[in-house]
Amino acid sequence: MSAVTASPSEDGRKLTIHIDGRFDFACHQAFRDAYEKPPRPKDGFVIDLGKTTYLDSSALGMLLLLRDYAGGDNAKIRLENASSDVRKILAISNFTQLFDI
Amino acid sequence: MLGHSPSISVLIADDNMTDRMLLSSIVRRQGHHVLQAGNGEEAVKVFEQMRPHIVLLDVMMPVMDGFEAARRIKALAGEALVPVIFLTSMSEDEALVRCLEAGGDDFLPKPYNQIILAAKIHAMERMRRLQATVLKQRDELARHHGHLLNEQRVAKAVFDQVAHSGCLGAHNIRYLQSPYALFNGDLLLATSAPGGDLHILLGDFTGHGLPAAVGAMPLADVFYGMTAKGYGLAETLREMNAKLKRILPPDMFCCAALISVSVNRRVVEVWNGGMPDGYLLRQSGERLPIPSRALPLGILSPERFEPTTQFYSVEEGDRIFLLSDGVIETTNHDETLFGVERLEAVLDRNQDRDRLFEDIREALQGFHGESRDDVSMVQVKVVDTASLPPVALALDRGQPTPTDWSVNFEFRAQTLKRYNPLPFLLQLLQEVQGLKAQSGDLYTVLTELYSNALEHGVLALDSSLKRDAAGFAQYYQWREERLRQLEEGYVKVGLTVQPEGRSGGRLVITVEDSGAGFDVASTLARVNEGVAYSGRGMKLVKALSHGVSWSDDGRSARVEFAWGAEA
Amino acid sequence: MTLAHLDLAVLAALHDIMGEDYPMLVRTYLEDSQARLTRLLEAQDPKTLRDSAHSFKGSSSNMGAAGLARLCCELEHLPLAAPQAEVCALREQINSEFIQVRAAFLTVLATDAL
């Protein structure tokens, strides 16, 4: 079972979401809750993929939903600590053009 | 008292009347309905007729003992759970073993303890109801699944109608796709452009089932429609992206690889957004990867989507190979991925390109991969256009047709940068009934003249650069750069249609550019000698039209087409 | 006060369960047991003997005739090789015990009727 946890920064301006385990369709609701429930952070989002073992196309879709929620083309979202496997998936789909990785 | 079970019917079978009477009273006092039997045979008969919820069987009975009766009752019950509790005064361990072996669910020792009996009945009844719920849900699930399969069947039938205008059956195309690939989001389309160029799309929608399939239809519509009109990859991509962006929810998108194979110009144009590497397999054995450089379709808004395509030179016999990620992601029971390395090893080992799919399939089997529904592959061989079936002709709808007109266009720098006027011009010409049969040739000629005017004339690119692979890449790179930086220049296109005889006519096309021109005489001489790539285009134009001539300075070309008067 | 051959606590529970059918239960037991006892006394082969003893044990224990049930249990579990004398002895004991049990039940029924 993967775990999705959200931790706001001390000043509340940034929200970090950690994904432990597989980032797939099963995380759908948890991921949405993680970014929809807290107040919108002014300095954007950080997705910590340090413990993420795997990313599939539904995960890419979830990132797009977050981007849409966070302002679309003006969204500030950074993806951090991706493993080489996860990085490869992000590279093939060229998501580097949409997110800070 | 124990939390009480709802009232159920209980069958009590014991040949000992005392015990039976006593037990019946106990059970009745607990609020249940009692059926009685005096031996095993009677028990089975009563069960068959009355179908009690729970059965209490004495082990030792005449005619048929409890164990045999239990076996028969369980058989009659089928899928439903009918708890059987054996009544016995055997010692504990012995009793348990024999009862379980006979298929019983529990046993009740003598002397009867009514509290224990109540507890057992309560527990058994819960189990019985649980089983009944499971069966009901299973049946409901099966029903829904049946509906779903039917919906998919209908959706597929509708889609097949949309997709039928394609030419996947052309003999230079080989492909492998599961019939249910569509419902894994895999899409494979192929069709010819008017000039004979072959456009192929291999796509992979996110998600499964109907949502994935539903996006495929508008996409196919755009792909076929625009290709048929003569639009190039870039315009088609822009339109497909805009459409998907508009109609799909934000988390859905379509990875796609598109190729345009132009046998005439010996060029393959490619675009890959999110699909695994495709491969250009040259006759020489050289293998070039076609990697994903762009975001998949349906993500970027139209303002931000700028499709950049790559060009490769090809010879007859070269092949382009595209595949979906089902191949790469096939796993074996160790959860290892088949992966790109293994695939490339197969490509390296494969000698006979016609056997490529079989080799890959064998490799997948040897890898003990679980077979997947989303393994899609397509292979296109570059062949002489003449060997391909002709493009379908538009029917004569009996409409009035313009037979005597002329028009002149001047496409200037800002237009040349982003707009491809060819589909529009072709559309105009197709209004003329007599020209419809020559649509393909018309388009090819127009494309050739326009490309020459734009690339050699306005952009001043030297086509002799395209002689080798390095020069080829350089050529297209410069083309993109110069086009982007273009400030001045024009291409003028003039069309004149005149009737001839009763039902014949003549079309004159003139194309003029603002470039420096070229030495017509010597270029034509080289063409006749059969040398130089740049001359090939000219040869083609000559072959397809009814006459071509250039102005002395090479800046203007004039081509004629005619259609006959009936004999 | 415990009647030597019947467990009063069991009888009370039976009375509670059966209510006004209590006498009928006792009468059924006594009739049934008579037949069962005869079968047991006249049994020729070991299987019939064991089965009757087992059956008698069951109903007797339900009815609170613990002593009788114990004797039947002994007879049921006698090894096949046991001498015939032992078998006969046990059968005799069961017979006499039942007579006692029967008398006790009739007394109970009589006092109940009051």
Percent of chain A with pLDDT over 70: 99
Averaged pLDDT, C84-95: 89
pLDDT at B51: 95
Q: How far is it, in rounded angstroms, from Cα B12 to Cα B24?
A: 7
Does any CB of chain C come closer than 8 Å to the CB of residue B16?
A: yes
User: What is the number of domains present in chain C?
Assistant: 1
Give me the interface pTM, i.e. the ipTM: 0.90
In a domain, C1, yes or no: no
CA distance B90 to chain C (A): 8
User: A interface mutation test: which of B204, B251, B271, B293 has the most A CBs within 10 A?
Assistant: B251
pLDDT at B394: 56
Q: Do A73 and B304 touch (CB under 8 A)?
A: yes
Give the number of beta-carbon pairs within 8 Å between A and B. 46
Q: Do B273 and A94 touch (CB under 8 A)?
A: yes
In a domain, C41, yes or no: yes
Q: Do A93 and B255 touch (CB under 8 A)?
A: yes
Residues 8-47 (C) with a CB less than 8 A from some CB of B: 10, 13-14, 17-19, 21, 24-25, 28-29, 32-33
Q: Write the residue in C21, C24, C61 that is nearest to B110 by C-beta.
A: C61
Determine the structural domain holding residue C73 and report its residue range: 8-113
The answer to whether B366 and B299 have CB atoms below 8 angstroms apart is: no
**Alpha helix segments (H runs only) across C43-83:** 46-62, 66-76
**Chains C and A in direct contact, meaning 3 or more beta-carbon pairs closer than 8 angstroms:** no
Regions of chain B where pLDDT drops below 70: 1-5, 90-92, 95, 162-165, 179-183, 208-209, 385-399, 523-536, 565-567
Give contacts of A73 with chain B, Cβ < 8 Å. Answer: 301, 304
What confidence tier does A37 reach under pLDDT thresholds 50, 70, 90?
confident
Does any CB of chain C come closer than 8 Å to the CB of residue B114?
A: yes
Q: How far is it, in rounded angstroms, from Cα C93 to Cα B307?
A: 106
pLDDT at B529: 52
Hey, what domains does chain A have and what are their CATH numbers?
Answer: 3-97 (3.30.750.24)
CA distance B293 to chain A (A): 7
Q: Write the residue in C19, C29, C51 that is nearest to B18 by C-beta.
A: C29
Does any CB of chain B come closer than 8 Å to the CB of residue C57?
A: yes
Give contacts of A95 with chain B, Cβ < 8 Å. Answer: 295
Q: How far is it, in rounded angstroms, from Cα B33 to Cα B7?
A: 7
Q: Write the residue in B16, B26, B89 that is nearest to C32 by C-beta.
A: B16
Rounded to whole angstroms, what are the CA distances from B303 to B198, B306, B483, B548?
A: 28, 8, 19, 41
pLDDT at B182: 66
In a domain, C36, yes or no: yes
Give contacts of B15 with chain C, Cβ < 8 Å. Answer: 55
pLDDT tens per residue, range B425-474: 988 888 888 888 888 888 889 988 998 899 988 998 887 777 777 888 88
In a domain, C84, yes or no: yes
In a domain, C55, yes or no: yes
In a domain, C2, yes or no: no
Does any CB of chain A come closer than 8 Å to the CB of residue B290?
A: no
Q: Do A60 and B295 touch (CB under 8 A)?
A: no
Give contacts of B22 with chain C, Cβ < 8 Å. Answer: 14, 17-18, 25, 62
The number of beta carbons lying within 10 Å of the beta carbon of residue B22 is 27
Q: How far is it, in rounded angstroms, from Cα B430 to Cα B441?
A: 12
The answer to whether B238 and B202 have CB atoms below 8 angstroms apart is: no
pLDDT at B1: 46
A97 → chain B, closest CA residue: B295
Does any CB of chain B come closer than 8 Å to the CB of residue A50?
A: no
The answer to whether B500 and B506 have CB atoms below 8 angstroms apart is: yes
B297 SS3 class: strand
Q: How far is it, in rounded angstroms, from Cα B456 to Cα B520?
A: 13
Q: Write the residue in B17, B25, B60 that is nearest to C51 by C-beta.
A: B60
In a domain, C3, yes or no: no
pLDDT tens per residue, range B26-48: 999 999 999 999 999 999 999 99
pLDDT at B206: 84
C82: CB partners within 8 A, 6+ apart: none
Does any CB of chain C come closer than 8 Å to the CB of residue B283?
A: no
pLDDT at B396: 60
Q: Do C51 and B19 touch (CB under 8 A)?
A: no
User: A interface mutation test: which of B275, B299, B303 has the most A CBs within 10 A?
Assistant: B299
In a domain, C100, yes or no: yes
Hey, what domains does chain B have and what are their CATH numbers?
Answer: 9-134 (3.40.50.2300), 165-387 (3.60.40.10), 405-563 (3.30.565.10)
Rounded to whole angstroms, what are the CA distances from C108 to C3, C6, C62?
A: 10, 10, 16
Q: Do B22 and C21 touch (CB under 8 A)?
A: no
Does any CB of chain B come closer than 8 Å to the CB of residue A70?
A: no
pLDDT tens per residue, range C23-79: 999 999 999 999 989 988 888 888 888 888 988 998 899 999 999 999 999 988 888
Give the number of beta-carbon pairs within 8 Å between B and C. 54
